[in-house]
Structure formats: C-alpha cells, structure tokens
Amino acid sequence: MKNSSKGGLVYSTDGGRMCPDCRRPLAACQCQAQARPAAAPGGVRVMRETKGRGGKAVTVVKGLALDADALAALGKQLRTACGCGGTVKDGVIEVQGDHCDRILDTLNKLGHRAKRAGG
C-alpha cells in the first residue's frame, strides 16, 4: 500500500465535488471565496460580436475585476441603461444589440476605465 504525500481521502461521493486546495466540498470552500479575480492585462474592453449568434449583434464587456455578485449587479445596471436583455457568464457581460457607445459612457461614469475594442 502506497502512502500519499498529502494524505487524506482520495475519492468520496459523500460531499460531491471537492476543492483541491482546502479539501472541502465546493459549496463550503473557503479559498475560492477569498480569491478575487484578476483584472485582464488589457483593462476593460467593450466590443461588438456577431459570431455564433445567427448574425445578431451582442455587445460584450470583458476584463472587469469584480466578483460574481458585483458583476451580476453591473450587468443588470448596463442592461437597464440600454433598455434591453443580456446575460453574465464566465466573467463576461453580454448585452443584446449594438450599444457600445452607451455602455462605454455608463462604465466611465461608474469609474471603470473602459476602452472600445474591435472594429
């Protein structure tokens, strides 16, 4: 029988998925709650995308160094300012339609240094 260098439980279905750092269930993980997402090296970028959306334009905001709750609140605020729908997924805010100028103005008023990216 081999001894593991870290010791402890190797596999269990009791707690579901486990955090590799603190070895707690992901729902009770403390290390993920303390980690803050790092800002993108290029800063906050606002761009218009149509790829993979059937030709429909979507304004995408990337590079915000906010946690999930603050990002969702900012997404709601941007969607309200534009009067349209959208979503927040994987740290990226997507707003339906081409609203780059309006989103840039709103982000700059809120203190984020946002730039337009793309064509």
Domains of the chain: 44-116 (3.30.780.10)
Tokens representing 72 are 């969702």
Q: What is the pLDDT of residue 93?
A: 93
Tokens representing 56 are 């429909």
pTM comes to 0.65
Average pLDDT over residues 92-113: 91
Q: Which residues are CB-contacts of 56 (< 8 A; sequence separation ≥ 6)?
A: 50, 96
Q: What is the pLDDT of residue 37?
A: 53
Neighbouring CB atoms inside 10 A of 82's CB total: 18
Burial 38-72 (b: 16+ CB within 10 A, else e): eeeeeebbbebeeeeeeeeebbbbbbbebeeeebe
Q: What is the pLDDT of residue 8?
A: 62
Q: Is residue 118 over pLDDT 70?
A: yes
